[in-house]
Amino acid sequence: MSRVDYDAVVVGGGAIGAAAALALSQAGQRVALIELNEPRAWSREVPDLRVFALAADSIELLRSLGAWDRIATSRATAYRRMQVWDISAPDFIEFDADKFGRRELGYIVENALIQDALWEQVRASNIRVLLGNRVVSLDGEMVQLEDGTLLRTSHVIAADGAQSSIRSMMGVEVSGKDYSQKGLVAYIDHTASNQATCWQRFVPSGPIAFLPVGDKRSSIVWTLPTEECDRLLAVDDEAFLRELSNAFDGPVGTLTAVSKRAAFPLRHQIASTFLSGNVMFIGDAAHVVHPLAGQGVNLGFRDVIALRDLYASRRVSPASLAKWARVRKSESTVAAQSFTALNSLFSNEDVLPVLIRGKGLGLVNRIPGASLWFWKKAAGLS
Ligand SMILES: Cc1cc2nc3c(=O)[nH]c(=O)nc-3n(C[C@H](O)[C@H](O)[C@H](O)COP(=O)(O)OP(=O)(O)OC[C@H]3O[C@@H](n4cnc5c(N)ncnc54)[C@H](O)[C@@H]3O)c2cc1C
């Protein structure tokens, strides 16, 4: 009889935790998944305001987990181009699927749909699911839940989000900073086609992204200083559309309607280690990055891809896990710092940043190698 009941206990069944549980189960591991809340079903009529620009490698992962067909046939909008420009410069960065001989760069998908599609697969698998429960103590192989259940496991995978209680239990610190900004999200209808393009304009208050979710419908993430964001949440729809139209000034025609609006505080946060004892940290429990490059969830899926490959290789050992943690922390730190640097460079009206960024975007676009490297990373193609 084996000493442990599970090879891995995953805590948190958001997109990243559910994907990790499935990936490890597919790799032949015995897995339990603990989630505090009953995952809510996706609704076609009430779109989730939080949408993700899924990169190619994230889509490939979702496909391998059996979740992609459900997503693709429910609601996923392909984007073929990304275009980024700055208020102070005529130049822009452009990235086109044609450059890679691809039909699309990725897809825009609602968070609730990804989670629902993954949970459909979780329920059909032999993963043990413990809903409405939380971990109250961790002691080596022993995991104790609030209702008294005891689980014996080789590893714990913490995917319990940015405020991870497992991270606190393990005494793992985080570093980073609060941006004093919020991301305002909403759906916008407009008169011209968005041309299957993710548009992002940098203005001094922060970047504004328009992500295609229909030909004449986009999902926006508008980064704003906290107070300004709260003001814009409170104004009526007409005033909101007017202010958004002035700030974005993009090629989607007249903005005609806005959905309900919501906002999320933005911060950059990295756990001091992604492995503590037998506990691994993935997704937002390990790293929270600025949404300006749409990389948050993609970084989390990359944690899962690397873990899946490690378990599939059957070379799981303290040394290989430590290497996994080092590599993932390094990639996440580079990403978080780049987005912080870009955010401070562009959310700024001082003369020097304005000069630098004016040249910057054009420069990146003119040096084919640099442009390619930047976008290949963002699009999960390297
Ligand atoms: C405004 C905004 C826009 C964004 N836009 C993008 C984008 O365009 N592209 C992108 O890639 N990313 C984006 N992100 C980031 C993205 O939302 C996160 O990276 C992603 O949701 C993280 O997923 P996760 O599964 O790690 O965590 P979460 O989604 O937070 O899931 C954590 C899960 O753990 C559960 N849980 C918590 N505590 C416990 C516990 N004690 N026990 C059991 N379960 C627990 C929760 O109920 C939840 O289900 C954006 C973020 C913001 C704020």
Q: What is the pLDDT of residues 199-238, one digit of tens each?
A: 988 888 888 999 999 999 999 999 999 999 999 999 999 9
Residue 342 has pLDDT above 60, yes or no: no
- Averaged pLDDT score across all residues of the chain: 88
**14 Cα: distance to centroid of ligand 1 (angstroms):** 6
Q: Tens digit of pLDDT for each residue in 9-62?
A: 999 999 999 999 999 999 999 999 999 998 989 999 999 999 999 989 999 999
Distance from Cα 325 to the centre of ligand 1, integer Å: 20
- Choose the residue to mutate in 9, 33, 34, 36 for probing ligand 1, maximizing ligand atoms within 8 Å of C-beta: 36
Span 254-268, pLDDT tens digits: 999 999 999 999 988
pLDDT in tens, 83-96: 887 766 666 778 88
Whether pLDDT at 163 is above 80: yes
Domains in the chain, number: 1
Q: What pLDDT is recorded for position 367?
A: 45
The reply to whether ligand 1 has any atom less than 6 angstroms from the CB of 160 is yes
pLDDT for 352 equals 44
pLDDT top residue among 105 and 352: 105
The pTM of this model reads 0.90
Position in ligand 1 atom list of the atom nearest CA 17:
25
Residue type, position 216, single letter: K
| CATH code of the domain in which 119 resides | 3.50.50.60
Measured in Å, residue 194 CA sits from the centre of ligand 1 at 27
- Report if residue 62 sits inside a domain: yes
Q: Which atom of ligand 1 is nearest to the CA of 111?
A: 21
Q: Are 207 and 292 in contact (CB under 8 A)?
A: yes
Give the start-end residues of each E strand in the chain.
6-11, 31-35, 51-54, 77-79, 81-86, 92-96, 106-110, 128-131, 135-139, 142-145, 150-158, 174-190, 197-203, 206-214, 217-225, 255-258, 262-271, 275-276, 279-281, 287-288
Phi-psi region of 196 (alpha: psi -120 to 50; beta: other; left: phi over 0): left
Which pLDDT value is given to residue 338?
Answer: 64
Q: What is the DSSP secondary-structure string of 220-244?
A: EEEEEEHHHHHHHHHS-HHHHHHHH
Average pLDDT in the 317-328 region?
A: 96
300 occurs within a structural domain: yes
Query: 308 lies in which domain range?
Result: 6-77+107-176+268-345
Does pLDDT of 288 surpass 70?
yes
Instruction: Answer whether residue 199 is part of any domain.
Output: no
Domain annotation covers residue 150: yes
Give residue 115's pLDDT: 97
Q: Which atom of ligand 1 is nearest to the CA of 165?
A: 41
In a domain, 16, yes or no: yes
Please indicate, yes or no, if residue 244 is contained in any of the structural domains: no
Q: Is residue 162 part of a domain?
A: yes
Q: For ligand 1, what atom is nearest to the CA of residue 265?
A: 53
Report if residue 226 sits inside a domain.
no
Q: Grade residue 99 by pLDDT with cuts at 50, 70 and 90.
A: confident
CA of 66 to the centre of ligand 1 (A): 21
